[in-house]
Amino acid sequence: MAVFFKLNIPVRFLAKKELFHWPIKGILESVGGMAVQRNKSARLVDEIIDLFNTHDQLMLMIPAEGTRGWVKRWKSGFYRVALGANVPVLLGYLDYEKKIAGFGPLLYMTGNTITDAENIKAFYKDIKGKHPEKFNLNGLILK
């Protein structure tokens, strides 16, 4: 978020509805936050696809594995949105070991879940997060 803010690039992100209460609500919305109900993921994917189809420009940040703990499997909504809206996925990273951050290539998802997952895994294979033991790259199974 800080990089997008510094570069003056408007980006939107999703956050659980429970975070959007006074006084934090105004701050989150002013920096691009959109409240979502996490228990309605199928409808949410369709709503996001509609947003992409109705806006000339939209950049949406979705942390596919953006939790603070180890997960068995990544959420795949980002993948379904990218396919449904025919928009690329821009892979971002924070490498704590090398003290660098950045973005990877724009990847258009092909619908071949195995190939698409392997391309994403290949990008992240050498990147070390702050707590690498909590990052499960093998949990990227797209459906």
Output the pLDDT for position 143. Answer: 74
At 108-136, the pLDDT tens digits run 999 999 999 999 999 999 998 888 888 88
Quote the tokens at residue 26.
């105004």
Compute the distance between CA of residue 143 and CA of residue 141 in angstroms, rounded to an integer.
Answer: 7
Give the model confidence (pLDDT) of 10-63 as tens digits: 888 878 889 999 999 999 998 888 887 766 656 888 888 988 888 888 888 776
Sign of CA dihedral 42, 46, 48, 49: positive
Is a pLDDT exceeding 60 seen at residue 66? no
Residue 42's pLDDT is 64
Phi and psi torsions of 87, nearest 5°: -120, 150
Q: What is the pLDDT of residue 112?
A: 95
Query: What is the C-alpha separation between 106 and 85, in angstroms, rounded?
Result: 15
What residues does 15 pair with on adjacent strands? Answer: 35
Strand ranges for 1-134 from DSSP E = 12-16, 33-36, 60-61, 89-95, 100-107
Model-wide pTM > 0.85: no
